Amino acid sequence: MNIKIALLGGDGIGPEIVAEAVKVLDRVAAKFFHRIEYHPAPVGAAAIDATGDPYPETTHKVCCEADAVLFGAIGDPRYDNDPAAKVRPEQGLLRMRKALGLYANLRPVSLFDALIDRSPLRADVVRGTDFVCVRELTGGIYFGRPQGRDEGGRRAFDTCTYTVEEIERVLHTAFRLAMRRRRHLTVVDKANVLETSRLWRETAQRVAGGYPDVTVDYMFVDNAAMQIVRCPTQFDVIVTENMFGDILTDEASVISGSLGMLPSASLGDHAALFEPIHGSYPQAAGKNIANPMATILSAAMLLEHLGLNGEGRAVRVSVNRALVEGIVTEDLAAPGARCYGTSDVGDYVAAHI
């Protein structure tokens, strides 16, 4: 199979962790007789430095022509808390999602047995955790207009808007995913307070009629935040709006023991995008200490999205072997154990494949 992948390393540790995922993908291609063609392109602060634009048209063209996009991270401390900055790296991320029509973000939350003792929750609470959060990605308060300030800058406002069509398409994604899993969907909203949430719930109740084999329940977002910590094993698929999904998925990510372990996929109208859920971690850039596992697992999701399930499974098995053998970076190393570098971990996973 010939595969064309757009490589968007981005900022901070992004280029380093993407390089390790490429190393693993190259080994998969050699073992399973595929041909992978990579097309690097700048995004974020790196793109601002090169072109003045955090998501240049040339990068968008590379993404649209690819079978999938492998993305690292966006963010640079030079732009943090700088009110004079007219363009920021994060604007490139929002524009990329909108331009590529990436309306559904899938974040699997599961726990490797070798990392149970790294979770901040008790082993008996987290053992068996296996759910997926489906977050609507291109609507809601992050994209709503108007937004701004008035009264001399003393009052600020943001607007949360959703259309039925935006809600329906991400609900169908979540229902179809639930059909392939344990057929249980939890719709998270704040319908007791917010009009957009009431539209979400009404739409979900109507769409659910087309999926009679899926058990659907509804949960307010504050209760969902509590239940994810109290009993994460009760969930199969969670679907929610943009901001709620942003917060809940970051909360859920700590169950695994490290942000460096969780991959994600963003699906939509054009090429699907795969990325780790963590940020650019600029303090670690260039030090060969960043955990590449989430990016490697994102590459596994990329392969599975293209129908290469055996190849994706080979990556997951190799990641698990690295964890069992303790071939991990400092965020996962047991007290007193050796810490391996970013490239060491990539080398091991690739070799095990």
CATH number at residue 7: 3.40.718.10
User: How many other C-beta atoms are found inside a 10 Å radius of the C-beta of residue 154?
Assistant: 7
Quote the domain boundaries for residue 303. Answer: 1-103+268-353
Catalytic positions are 142, 190, 222, 246, 250
- Place 254 in a pLDDT band, splitting at 50, 70 and 90: confident
Helices (H), 109-194: 123-126, 164-180
Residue 81 confidence (pLDDT) above 80: no
Same domain, 11 and 77: yes
Q: Evaluate if residue 104 carries a pLDDT over 90.
A: yes
Of 207, 235, 256, the residue at which a domain comes to its end is: 256
Of 324, 326, 296, which Cα lies nearest the Cα of 311?
296
Q: Does residue 284 sit within a domain?
A: yes
In the predicted structure, residue 170 carries a pLDDT above the cut 70: yes
Q: How confident is the model at residue 270 (pLDDT cuts 50, 70, 90)?
A: confident
Measured between alpha carbons, how far is 3 from 1 in angstroms, rounded to an integer? 6
- Assess whether pLDDT exceeds 70 at residue 45: yes
pLDDT at res. 21: 98
> pLDDT-derived band of residue 257, with 50, 70 and 90 as boundaries?
confident
pLDDT interval class at 82 (50, 70, 90): low
- Amino acid in the structure at residue 218: Y
> Mean per-residue pLDDT for 137-162?
93
Across the beta sheet with 237-240, what order do the strands follow?
35-40, 2-10, 68-73, 272-276, 263-267, 104-110, 130-136, 237-240, 184-189, 215-220
* 109 in a structural domain: no
Residues 245 and 184 in one domain: yes
Q: Please indicate, yes or no, if residue 114 is contained in any of the structural domains.
A: no
Residues 6+ apart with CB under 8 A from 121: 229, 232, 255
Give exposure, 199-238, as e/b (b: 16+ Cβ within 10 Å): bbbebbeebbeebeebebebbbbeebbebbeeebeebbbb
- Mean pLDDT, residues 198-222: 98
Closest C-alpha to 138, from 63, 19, 280, 246: 246
157: CB partners within 8 A, 6+ apart: 146, 147, 148, 149, 150
Asked if residue 246 and residue 328 are part of one domain, the reply reads: no
144 Cβ contact list (under 8 Å, min separation 6): 158, 159, 160, 161
Residue 262 domain flag: no
Per the domain annotation, does 295 fall within a domain? yes
3-state helix, strand, coil in the chain (%, to 5): 50, 20, 35
Is 163 domain-assigned? yes
Same domain, 239 and 144: yes
Of the ranges 10-19, 69-78, 82-91, 334-343, which one carries the lowest mean pLDDT score? 82-91
Coil/strand/helix, residue 338: coil
Q: Which position has the higher pLDDT, 54 or 250?
A: 54
The verdict on 216 and 309 lying in the same domain is: no
pTM for the structure as a whole: 0.90
pLDDT value at position 328? Answer: 96
Residues 219 and 299 in one domain: no
